[in-house]
Amino acid sequence: MDPMPHSPHRNPRPGGRRRARRRGAALVALVALAAALLAVLAFAVPAWPATTNVTMVGRGWGHGIGMSQWGAYGYAKHGSTYEQILKHYYTGIGLGQVENALIRVRLRGGVSTVRLTCGSRYVASASGKRLEIPGGVTASVTWAGGAYRVTAGSLVQTFGAPVTFEPSAGQLKTVTPDDWSKTGKYRGTIRVLHSSSGFTMINKLPLESYLFGVVPLEMSASWPAEALKAQACAARSYAERSRNPGESFDVYCTTRDQAYGGVRAEASASNAAVKACAGVVPTYNGKPIPAFFFSTSGGHTESIENVWQTTPMPYLKGVDDPYDTFSPLHLWPENPIVHSDAWYQSKLGTYGADNPTGVKGDLRTVFVLKRGTSPRVVKAAILGTKGVTLVSGASLRYKLALRDTWVSFTSLSLVPGGTTVTYGVGTTLSGRIYPALKNGGTVTLRFTRGGAPVSVDLPTTRHTQDLGAGLTATYSTYKATVKPKKQTTYSVVSGSARSPQITLKVRPAVSLQANAATVKAGDVVKFGGTTAPLLPGATVWLQTKTGTAWSNAASGVFDANGAWAFDWKAVAGVTAARLRVPATAGLVTAYGPAIALTVTE
């Protein structure tokens, strides 16, 4: 089972998936795994800023278990036979033979009516009753009075048991779309079964005929013959292991098991490959194996217990995959992929009883605690401001809609002491990076000065964060004091990771003096002062306060030395004065410190 979206048919599809309905030693479904196996821990944490980006870098596509289809392509291009390919990806196997027995494929379920036809005469039958239908006439199956009602033109027959349609020649053709929302021809017979949810269409056909409709959907028929043979053997073994006589069908037609499209999917090259290796399956201790396969390994496959946390299987071990580089997703073309903490929060959701792997509080980072042999993520910690939750790599992949779990996460934050600073005074920028850098490592502060880019290396200090239960996370902190002369945007980078951009606004530093603080109404008070930087010709306002309101009292301009002077006739009721410098020259509006005044009558 693979919850990811799938590639166009020109590229192989992740395949050989598990079904949640499997029992016992079978592999559990992805979402059930997340809920059942993930512990949730809580711990006290300090306040954390929201100014964080998490950068991921990934490779591969699929669950990573068994045969890499692009790797098989590469091995075939380098001259390997299908036997050699299978023995590389499935450790310690032999090759055996299985019979061409019938297999039952679910095409569609939950429909109220099933319609199908055939170019030749065909028969509907059940419990000894038969209805012969002329070629070219469409038959419809409905449920009426607790029985199957088959209508074909003027012909009508009622059956008390599931109905099987069988052609006299050629193939049946479905008019009701399958689970791929497609119609088309199918080899073998089609059984129509009714249940409380509606009708289910089941295609019953020989195993080798089934593979004709599987291989070209799981691997491009234009690929080398040896790769197609390896795909046929893996799909054959998976199907053989999926037989379940106690249920109404064995496999789904979708990637819930293996992609199957019937005759419409067949291609001459893939059909020839299936025939060339007829009956061959990879075996361990003489029995066919669950031969999982997927699209792209990124350079190394993974051991099954590290992906689905099931019992280790000696033939499903991670192996080197040197020719996977043919895949366009060997390295993700979007790397590096930068998202805000809010994006991750929206994907992971908030922690709760119905979401035990959600974020507690606001997201800090995704911290990988354990990797497999590839090294795909086995277990990670979702660090939040109110605690931490543990999540498997498979669950993380599902929640973030990742192609694969071969992925790294680096979070960088940048927090200013304030968003508006005074010229010449400045502020401190600080942050942290998860995971920690090596001792002596630096991050780079980037900004622009005078139109030119500037980079400054900042030293870092390593820290260890206790997550409880013997688990820890590491991070490094950094800081810088900056004194921008005008509005400036800052960011921090480390390798391909980068923090959010922080923009600091700058206000001029202004001073205000008065020749007297206690005066009578009508007296003239002389005000003066300066500004930094020099703003010759810029407007400056003297403001006075009456009650709780400030109002403009006089205006002027700075001289060439950045100085100014006002004469103000005192007004009764004024309690303070201050200077206001409107926004100019890349600076925001500034208000000087207020001077208390006492104006008597």
Q: What does the block give as tokens for 545? A: 């306060």
pLDDT at residue 45, rounded to an integer: 37
Pairing of strands 509-510, 406-413: unpaired
Phi-psi region of 593 (alpha: psi -120 to 50; beta: other; left: phi over 0): beta
Instruction: Supply the CATH classification number for the domain 509-600.
Output: 2.60.40.230
Helices 225-241 + 82-89 axis angle, to 10? 50
Q: How far, in Å, CA of 166 to CA of 189, rounded?
A: 5
Residues linked to residue 482 through DSSP beta bridges, in sequence order: 427
pLDDT at residue 20, rounded to an integer: 35
First to last CA, the chain: 88
Asked, colleague to colleague, whether 413-461+473-507 and 509-600 share their fold, the answer is: yes
pLDDT at residue 562, rounded to an integer: 85
pLDDT at residue 243, rounded to an integer: 96
Counting as low any pLDDT under 50, the low residues of the chain are 1-15, 17-50
- The domain spans of the chain are 30-62+333-412, 413-461+473-507, 509-600
pLDDT at residue 561, rounded to an integer: 87
Instruction: Supply the CATH classification number for the domain 413-461+473-507.
Output: 2.60.40.10
Instruction: Check if the beta carbon of residue 421 is closer than 8 Å to that of residue 427.
Output: yes
Residue 520 makes CB contacts below 8 A (sequence gap 6+) with: 570, 599, 600, 601
pLDDT at residue 46, rounded to an integer: 39
Q: How far, in Å, CA of 202 to CA of 225, rounded?
A: 30
The CA-based diameter of the chain, rounded to the nearest angstrom, is 119
Q: What are phi and psi of 149, to 5 degrees?
A: -110, 115
pLDDT at residue 322, rounded to an integer: 97
Q: What are phi and psi of 70, to 5 degrees?
A: -70, -35
Q: How far, in Å, CA of 387 to CA of 341, rounded?
A: 15
pLDDT at residue 102, rounded to an integer: 98
Q: How far, in Å, CA of 199 to CA of 162, rounded?
A: 10
pTM over 0.75: yes
Q: How far, in Å, CA of 231 to CA of 448, rounded?
A: 55
Token pair 């002369």: residue: 485
Residue 496 makes CB contacts below 8 A (sequence gap 6+) with: 55, 57, 335, 336, 410
